[in-house]
Amino acid sequence: MSQDRPSWRQTQTIALKQAIQAAALRLFAERGYAETTVGMIADEVGIASRTCFRHFPTKPDLVLWDAADYDLLAHFRARPADEGVLTAFRAALRAGYATLTSEQRDLEQHRAKLIAAIPEVRAAHLDHLTSALREFTLAVAERAGRTPDDGDVVAVSGAIIGILMISQLPAAERSSPEPEPDQVTVLDDALARLQQGFGAL
């Protein structure tokens, strides 16, 4: 995540990472996570294995990296300064979700299922969440005009990240052929409930 809009070079890097991740997830679905090597993924994209490792140092990173993280934080920081943290985040969530294509939404569902199903990825996800929480806490502190270690800032940041994490579990565990529920509606409902307790922040 970054506070500024990406440069041309960063945009190109994001595009390459998206291509690598798409190939990885496709091969994981076809061959299985354990059976797919980084070399296979690199061959699928037409790059050297070392290039793949440069962008994704570990195999779980191929699942955990999420380009939408950047957009969500950018939308959050772009909200009017007079909006509270939860109001701004809910609006940012809706704005970010609206920009996703159906393919990107399917990708999010696939990633969630892999995180839930593969112990190696699930363990690495905890480190990923710690990093995301640290950066999101800084953004919340900026908006609230408080320090990152302020009690309310820490509480609301952790609560929001927790909701994002827990909301993935039902989608990841679903095996029904029925359509997936609208995730942004589920998230917004949970955030609305949270806002009743943190509305003054």
DSSP state of 60: T
CA distances to 19, 34, 163 from 59, rounded to whole Å, are 15, 10, 26
Q: How confident is the model at residue 3 (pLDDT cuts 50, 70, 90)?
A: very low
Flag whether 35 is in a domain.
yes
Q: For residues 124 and 30, state if they share a domain.
A: no
pLDDT in tens, 160-193: 998 887 776 655 555 555 555 567 888 898 899 8
Element (H, E) at 198: helix 183-198
Report whether pLDDT(131) > 90.
Answer: no
Instruction: Supply the CATH number for residue 148's domain.
Output: 1.10.357.10
Domain boundary among 16, 37, 58: 58
Element (H, E) at 28: helix 8-31
Residue 23's domain spans which residues? 8-58
Q: For residues 35 and 93, state if they share a domain.
A: no
Distance (Å, rounded) from C-alpha 9 to C-alpha 170? 37
pTM score? 0.74
Q: For residues 172 and 94, state if they share a domain.
A: yes
Q: For residues 72 and 38, state if they share a domain.
A: no
Report whether pLDDT(5) > 60.
Answer: no
Nearest CA among 169, 167, 145, 148 for reference residue 157:
148
- Mean pLDDT over 141-155 rounds to 96
Nearest CA among 15, 114, 4, 133 for reference residue 61:
114
Q: For residues 95 and 31, state if they share a domain.
A: no
Q: For residues 125 and 71, state if they share a domain.
A: yes
Q: How confident is the model at residue 158 (pLDDT cuts 50, 70, 90)?
A: very high
Flag whether 170 is in a domain.
yes
Flag whether 25 is in a domain.
yes
Flag whether 158 is in a domain.
yes
Q: For residues 134 and 193, state if they share a domain.
A: yes
Q: From its phi and psi, is residue 143 left (phi > 0), alpha (psi between -120 and 50) or beta?
A: alpha
Q: For residues 136 and 188, state if they share a domain.
A: yes
In 56-182, which residue ranges form alpha helices assigned H by DSSP?
61-64, 67-78, 85-98, 102-117, 119-144, 151-173
Residue 1 pLDDT: 42
How many domains are there within the chain?
2
Q: For residues 194 and 161, state if they share a domain.
A: yes
Nearest CA among 28, 122, 137 for reference residue 85:
137
Instruction: Supply the CATH number for residue 29's domain.
Output: 1.10.10.60
Is the Cα torsion angle 24, 27, 28, 29 positive or negative in sign?
Answer: positive
Report whether pLDDT(97) > 90.
Answer: no
Q: 71, 104 in Cβ contact below 8 A?
A: no
